Amino acid sequence: MIAIPAVDLRDGACVQLVGGSYKEERVRLDNPVEVARSWEHFGFSRLHVVDLDAATGRGSNLFVVRAILDDVDIPVQVGGGIRSGDLVEELLDAGATNVIVGTRAIEEMEWLAGIAARHPGEIVVACDVRERRITTRGWVRTLPLDILDAVEELNALPLGGLLVTAVHREGQMQGTDLPLMEDVAESSHFPVYASGGVASMQDMRALEHRGIAGVVIGMALYTGALDPAVLAGEFHE
């Protein structure tokens, strides 16, 4: 299992939000490229870059995403507001290892099937989950769709993985939703990446023991709750 630092972009800065709320911004760093470079230097083997403004229709940080892709040498998975085939192509051409699609992928499975067929193994589907229900449109819309039912449908596609975010634990550093992650890992035919609530090395080891392939970590790294050198040393490719 690998640890994957999150670089969440808002207004050109790197931020961390509590519980997915734009009113609860706890961390803001003005140079996301420098932040991404620092995680690479600590020894992490992958980065997770998300354009929060694009995800919620507030704007775009594509220029920052491109700058990060140009600057770092480790694999980068990119997500946030990616709802067109053209943008998927653009990001892959710019150097993204994987492209993460969420809202449109969940709401329009035919579109997802087409994108996945054109880019087998390169598309990661983001399933943002609050109490077992999938949320879309930047966590503001909750669908009457159970996560395990969604996984069953997704298993038929040539995906590169599933990213499951426990939105109800996001940014709170109170531990992740282990039953949720274990159930998804058991049901999925693809690598499962977990996000939301991780606060300790014990959380990381518990996820590893439940079959999770990687963990996206934000708040715990940015607040110093987890030592980046220790984390990267134990959980790397």
pLDDT tens digits, 200-222: 999 999 999 999 999 999 989 99
Give bridge partners of residue 27 from the DSSP assignment. Answer: 16
Q: Which of 67, 75, 20, 12 is nearest to 218 (CA)?
A: 20
Q: Which of 102, 110, 194 is nearest to 157 (CA)?
A: 110
What share of the chain in percent tops pLDDT 90? 69
Identify residue 176 by its one-letter amino acid code.
Answer: T
Q: Is the pLDDT of residue 76 over 90?
A: yes
* Mean predicted confidence (pLDDT) in 65-73: 98
Q: Is the pLDDT of residue 229 over 70?
A: yes
Q: How far is CA 203 from CA 71, 81, 111, 198, in A?
A: 31, 29, 35, 6
In a 13 Å sphere around the CA of 20, the CA atoms on its Cβ side amount to: 21
How much is the pTM? 0.92
Q: Is the pLDDT of residue 47 over 90?
A: yes
Q: What is the CATH code for 2-234? A: 3.20.20.70
User: What does the alpha-carbon distance between residue 103 and residue 82 come to, in Å, rounded to a whole number?
Assistant: 8
Give the active site residues: 8, 128
Reading phi first (left if > 0) and then psi (alpha if -120 to 50, else beta), residue 171 is in left
pLDDT digits (tens, 9 = 90+) for 108-142: 999 999 999 999 999 999 988 877 767 655 555 55
| 161 Cβ contact list (under 8 Å, min separation 6) | 98, 124, 125, 190, 191, 192, 193, 213
123 is written with which tokens? 């598309």
Q: Which of 146, 190, 195 is nearest to 173 (CA)?
A: 195
Contact at 8 Å (CB) between 194 and 217?
no
